[in-house]
Amino acid sequence: MIFHGLEHYIHVPWVIQAALIAGAQLLFAAALLLGSGLLVRSRLVAANGGLVPDSGFSLRNVLELLVEMLKGLAEQNMGPHWRKYFPIIGTIFFFILISNLMGLVPGLAGSTSTADTTWAWATISFVVHQYVGIKEHGFGYINHFLGPRFGKHHIPLLFWIYGPIEMVSHISRAFTLAVRLLANMFADHTVVAVWISLVPVVVPAMFMGLGLIVAFLQAFVFALLTMIYIRLALDEPH
């Protein structure tokens, strides 16, 4: 293991080395995201910047296209509350997208190919949609876990069956989000790195092109599932 080898020379535990590298990747991705936002904002506040789109292919046009796509999905999946929770969806999508794309640059590892990052965002997604459910329904949110009600007093007689099932179902959301993103991006980045080491020209470009599609799809799926989970939390429990 590379980190174990470095530990012998620099006397820094491999766990700390890995944490520092992962932290640097996260900070770099965040800096790229922030820089892109500031660049677009500077164009919008310029004369007619908010009205006249850039001519041809530009970063602003690409970002506006992606935001419009996310906006449409948010309206469809989160209903009238979409504006309230759209900022977290946009942050998740663009951070994961930038991190995924970083992994396609030779010598620049993407943070989404490490478990620390994918589990962090999966945990954030889980906490957000649980928070939404509690915020919108208060103590009544617990009814999501109690199953169907019976009689005129609406007693959840089957809570002892539905409760554990619903708990496992909700926790598995975070697990599937983290594992899906990690597995796909680790595999994609590994394939690109292997081909670059074997055939430095032409062939890697084909896999990098496929990697662009994978990078976008994984960010899209993560954001879409988060929207769906928020909508499920917004629905009235039955």
Task: Give the residue numbers spanning the domain of 173.
Answer: 68-234
7 part of a folded domain: no
Predicted pLDDT at 145: 77
Write down the mean pLDDT value for the chain. 77
Question: Do residues 61 and 195 make contact, with C-beta atoms less than 8 angstroms apart?
Answer: no
Number of domains in the chain: 1
Answer yes or no: is 30 within a domain.
no
155-174 confidence digits (pLDDT tens): 666 776 887 888 888 899 99
CB of 223 closer than 8 Å to CB of 186: no
- 217 close to 229: Cβ distance less than 8 angstroms: no
pLDDT of residue 13: 53
Quick one: pLDDT at residue 123?
94
Tell me the β-bridge partners of 155. Answer: 150
- The angle that helices 59-78 and 14-44 make with each other, rounded to 10 degrees, is 100
Are 162 and 147 in contact by the 8 Å Cβ rule? The answer is yes
Give this prediction's pTM: 0.77
Asked if residue 145 is part of any domain, the answer here is yes
pLDDT per position as a tens digit, 5-22: 544 555 555 445 455 555
In a domain, 10, yes or no: no
Tens place of pLDDT per residue across the chain (238 aa): 444 454 455 555 544 545 555 555 556 666 766 776 666 666 666 655 555 556 666 667 777 788 889 999 999 999 888 889 998 998 899 888 888 888 777 666 677 888 888 998 999 999 999 999 889 888 878 877 776 766 665 666 677 688 788 888 889 999 999 999 988 888 887 777 777 777 766 666 777 778 888 889 999 999 999 999 999 888 866 5
